[in-house]
Amino acid sequence: MELILFVILTTISMTIYYIFRKYIWTRRHGTYTWWFARTNHRLLGEPCKSDIVFDRQGYSLGFSKKWKSALWVSYIITKWSISVDVNRGGSFYADTNVPKDCRIKSDDYAGIGYDRGHLAPSATVDFSHASNNETFIMSNIVPQHPALNRQAWGSLEDTVRKWTFSKGKLAVVTGPIYGKRPRRVNGIPIPKAFYKVIYAFNHDKSIGFILPNRAINSAKLWRYAMSVKNVEKATTYKFFNKLGRKGQSVKANLNTSWWKS
């Protein structure tokens, strides 16, 4: 009797294992994609009014017709969402959902001396080919000084990804800062700076950065760290407003040592 029971239990276990390996584990990427694509990236609110809001698989975006670019891009990430890592795209394309008179094409950047800088980073939003492809749409792109994009800004993006492993789930909001009369090249307004604010859900801690749109070495990144409250003062935006009353103290306090650890 015991032998029969053993054989039955072993058969059931092997059957379950076979089904798991063949039909569930091999399709796990599709499950991840389905889950991550349904994230509410505006969970903590929008920092300011914008003309058009787009909710995409890996981020949300508030577009300004005046500046022909996003005012803000927000995304929520975890160590799981950034660890899928599909092969990334690389072909920039115009956003046909943006009115034609404020639609920027990839060719407009030819010879202007600025990089096509991602707001929602390609290396962060890559849990599927579709989500990664959406990071190359031109409404997610802004003119960035090459030695900022490839140095301090790129280092900041990489640091934020690493924080998902040590700080847990993060909400990120980022965007350009324009002067009153920004210089325009090929009809594209050039931002004077860029901001990024980060909130750690599990710890109720936040940090902000404002980096001028010029050459900044990666080693100097932490010179531009500040409280989220100070980023609000510089931009007149209100970040993470759905945190409610506790959000005011969270945004005012900055523990740089904690973020560096």
> How many domains does the chain divide into?
2
**Residue in the structure block whose two tokens are 């997610």:** 140
57 and 176 fall within a common domain: yes
Q: Do 125 and 22 fall within a single domain?
A: no
Domain match, 23 and 100 both: no
pLDDT at position 16: 58
Give Dmax (Cα) for the chain: 87
**Cα separation of 51 and 175, whole Å?**
15
Pair (225, 123) in one structural domain: yes
208 and 79, same domain (yes or no) = yes
Environment class of residue 88 by beta-carbon count within 10 Å: exposed (0-12), middle (13-18) or buried (19+)? middle
Give the per-residue pLDDT at 33. Answer: 73
Q: Within this chain, do residues 53 and 107 fall inside the same structural domain, yes or no?
A: yes
DSSP β-bridge partners for residue 143: 116
What does each of the 261 residues of the chain score in pLDDT, given as a tens digit? Answer: 666 766 666 777 676 545 445 444 344 445 567 778 889 999 999 999 999 999 999 999 999 999 999 999 999 999 999 987 677 667 999 999 999 999 999 999 999 999 999 999 999 999 888 999 999 999 999 999 999 999 999 999 999 999 999 999 999 999 999 999 999 999 999 999 999 999 999 999 999 999 999 999 999 999 999 999 999 999 999 999 999 999 999 999 999 999 999
CATH of residue 124's domain is: 3.40.570.10
Both 160 and 228 in a single domain? Answer: yes
The answer on 109 and 14 residing in a single domain is: no
Both tokens of 13, joined, read: 């276990």
Type and span of the H or E element at 33: helix 28-36
Q: Do 69 and 198 sit in the same domain of this protein?
A: yes
- pLDDT at residue 32, as a whole number: 62
Residues 26 and 142 in one domain: no
Check residue 28 and give its pLDDT. 45
pTM for the full predicted model: 0.88
Give every CB contact of residue 255 below 8 A, 6+ residues apart in sequence.
205
Q: Quick check: 10 and 206 in contact, CB under 8 A?
A: no
Amino acid at 65: K
pLDDT at 24: 41
Q: How many CA atoms lie within 13 Å of 257's alpha carbon, on the beta-carbon side?
A: 0
What pLDDT was estimated at residue 21? 52
Provide the b/e sequence for 199-210 (b: ≥16 CB within 10 Å): bbbeeebbbbbb
* Domain carrying residue 3: 1-36
Residues 24 and 103 in one domain: no
Tell me, yes or no, whether 64 and 191 share the same domain.
yes
> What's residue 27's pLDDT?
45
